[in-house]
Structure 1
């Protein structure tokens, strides 16, 4: 008997009104369960696998997960994909939850610090960065005072003064009367 051309379907799932056939299941080296669902829009494009906990949550919600959404295992057991053990979270909140209060070695803290310094060498990567440079330059050239600029751009006066120095506008700004 020749081998079938299509993989055997174990079962089907419905997400967002679409039926998807599950044709495989495996445990990843990191301990998660992955399902082979080639028709799923977010399965990996090489083999068609997607994490089971994401599929379980998508089935409950009746929609696909957004890119910034993650599924947290409440009991920290990666292969326990019972619905009562899963919690939908925003990516940033999930990261913060796992890192808050974590004990780190001195070597790890130094690595994290150097990565942060490297990432923040470019000021635009800072979470508090305000992209107001062009508007600020225009307003300084039009003769606006720091207080007016800060109100119109919704930034602090300290930010205005820092930007004036950073953009080498101190001479132009001091000519404002």
Structure 2
């Protein structure tokens, strides 16, 4: 099967170039420290330490202009926790690790399960299944276990991470089949 390298590389580029600004109330149970904020943000936050109101305002004006310029050039992207979670769901199942930014933003825990729905399903050449999911991922069956009922658009799917990079996909409550993400 031919793999779509453009969409996969696009997802990876967006994931690895993502710079996040997370609300100050975000705390994870994990002891790992999140990556430091981008310099343009730390420079802006440093303005709060200036005692003289006129100098503080001048600092804020200069640094917000620098932040706006960085955002216009896409040198920095700002995302809230919901957007980060959507990005994590979108890359679930790829063989590479999660970006440290997505990892820190998600509370430090790697996702072990994804609940989604089928958007399309078809038979593969080897009589297995190729299933497209709502998050945009496409999965290919890699075992020969049959499904009792054919997958249909709209059915619920549970994708569970197994050991050694394997994934088990249960369609509409049926016994899970072993699959890998191909797009």
TM-score normalised according to structure 2 size: 0.21
Bigger relative contact order, structure 1 or 2 (CA pairs below 8 A, ≥6 apart): 2
Decide which structure has greater helix share.
Answer: 1
TM-score normalised according to structure 1 size: 0.21
